[in-house]
Amino acid sequence: MKIGEYQLANPLILAPMAGITDKPFRELCFKLGAGMTVSEMCSSNPKVWASSKSTHRMTHTQEAGIRSVQIAGNCPVEMAAAAQFNVEQGAQIIDINMGCPAKKVNKKFAGSALLQHPDVVKQILHSVVNAVDVPVTLKIRTGWDTDNRNGVDIALLAQDAGIASLAVHGRTRSCMYKGFAEFDTIKAIKQAVSIPVVANGDITTPEKARDVLDYTGADAIMIGRGAQGNPWIFREINHYLTTGEKLAPVEPTEVSETLLNHVHALHEFYGDFLGVRIARKHIGWYLKEQRNELRQELFKIETASEQLAVLNRIFTDNIN
C-alpha cells in the first residue's frame, strides 16, 4: 500500500489513540512490525500548542518510519494552519480526525461529530489538502448512529477533495466501543472509491486480520486497542499474512525486556514524574493476566527507579 509517495512496508497500521500512541509506543510498534504508525491527535487550536501535552504530541523528528500526524478540530482555517505547523515540525503525512467518539471531543464539534455535517467536512478536507504539500489522510467512523451510516457519502467527499487514504472504524459514533465492529460499511466504501481504504475495529488476532482483509477488500488494516499491552501483534499478523502460519507465543524473557525498555523510554520521554504515571496504564495492559493486588502495588509507586525495580522483581520471580 502507498500513501502518496510513501510505500508502507506492510499493510498494518497502528491507529492513533489519544494518550497512548506517543513517540515511545509508536517506535516500539514500528520495531515490532507495524508498517506505519499514526500519532495521537494534536489539537488545531493554536492556543494550546505551547502546553506540555501538545509539545510532546508534536514531537515528530528523529523517528523511525513514516511520520503520520493526526490533527483534530472543527475550523477549516485552524485545521489548515495546524497541518502546516505539524509539517514544519517534521510530519510527512497529515491525518484528519473525524472518528473520535469521545464526548469531550464531540462537544467541541470535532471528531466523529463532524459526520453529521458533510458541508463542514467538505470545507475542512479541501482546506487541509490545499494547505500542505504532503499527503493528507482521513479517519472516520461508519456514521453518526446506526440509522445514519453515511460513511460512503463521506468517503466520496474525501476522494473528491484529494484525500490520499481513508481509514474507517467499523462502528458509528453512538456505538462508542460497545458491541462488535461491522465491516459491511467498510466493504461498501471500498467498492465506492478508488483511493486506498484501511479497515479498523476489533482486529486482535492474525485470523481476524486475514478475515477482515478478505471480506472488505481493504488495502490495509489499522490496529488500536489490540496493540495495548501486545505490541507483538504486528509481527504476529504480518507473519500469518505472509506464511499462513502462526508464530509461537512470545517468550517471557522478551515480554520482560520489551516492557522494561518501554517503561524506561516513557521515563526518558516525559521525565520521571509524568513518565511514571503514564507508564501505569501500559503496565496494566501488559500485566492484565497478573494478580490484581500485584497491579495495584505497581499503580501506587511514585518513582521511576522503584517502578523499574518492582517490574524486574516480578519478572524474575515469574521466570524463575
* 127-175 confidence digits (pLDDT tens): 999 999 999 999 999 999 999 899 999 999 999 999 999 999 999 988 9
CA distance 83 to 42: 10
Percent of the chain with pLDDT over 70: 96
- Asked if residue 181 and residue 62 are part of one domain, the reply reads yes
Residue 100 designated active-site: yes
- Asked if residue 83 and residue 230 are part of one domain, the reply reads yes
Q: For 43-52, 283-292, 304-313, which range has the lowest pLDDT when averaged over its residues?
A: 43-52
Residue 305, all three cell numbers: 527507579
- Asked if residue 256 and residue 231 are part of one domain, the reply reads no
pLDDT of residue 315: 81
Bridge-based pairing state of the strands 6-7 and 93-98: unpaired
Q: What is the pLDDT of residues 210-228, one digit of tens each?
A: 999 999 999 999 999 999 9
Q: For 57-71, 193-207, 287-301, which range has the lowest pLDDT when averaged over its residues?
A: 287-301
| pLDDT value at 297 more than 90 | no
pLDDT of residue 319: 55
- Which CA distances in Å does 216 have to 7, 47, 146, 196, 251? 21, 41, 19, 12, 33
pLDDT of residue 60: 73
| pLDDT value at 10 more than 60 | yes
- Asked if residue 270 and residue 239 are part of one domain, the reply reads no
pLDDT of residue 107: 66
| pLDDT value at 291 more than 70 | no
Entry pTM: 0.94
- Asked if residue 279 and residue 137 are part of one domain, the reply reads no
pLDDT of residue 137: 98
Span 191-209, mean pLDDT?
98
- Asked if residue 209 and residue 69 are part of one domain, the reply reads yes
Picking from 243, 262, 294, the residue at the C-terminal end of a domain is: 243
Picking from 219, 243, 267, the residue at the C-terminal end of a domain is: 243
Q: Say if CB 97 and CB 110 are below 8 A apart.
A: yes
- Asked if residue 147 and residue 268 are part of one domain, the reply reads no
SS (H, E, C) the chain: CEECCEECCCCEEECCCCCCCCHHHHHHHHHCCCCEEECCCEECCHHHCCCHHHHHHCCCCCCCCCEEEEEECCCHHHHHHHHHHHHHCCCCEEEEEECCCCHHHHCCCCHHHHHHCHHHHHHHHHHHHHHCCCCEEEEEECCCCCCCCCHHHHHHHHHHHCCCEEEEECCCCCCCCCCCCCCHHHHHHHHHCCCCEEEECCCCCHHHHHHHHHHHCCCEEEECHHHCCCCCHHHHHHHHHHHCCCCCCCCHHHHHHHHHHHHHHHHHHHCHHHHHHHHHHHHHHHCCCCCHHHHHHHHCCCCHHHHHHHHHHHHHHHHC
Q: Of 29, 42, 75, 100, which is the active-site residue?
A: 100
CA distance 74 to 60: 23
Q: How many domains does the chain have?
A: 2
Here the CATH number for the domain that contains residue 86 is 3.20.20.70
| pLDDT value at 293 more than 90 | no
Q: Say if CB 231 and CB 28 are below 8 A apart.
A: yes
User: Whole domain around residue 214: which residue ranges?
Assistant: 2-243
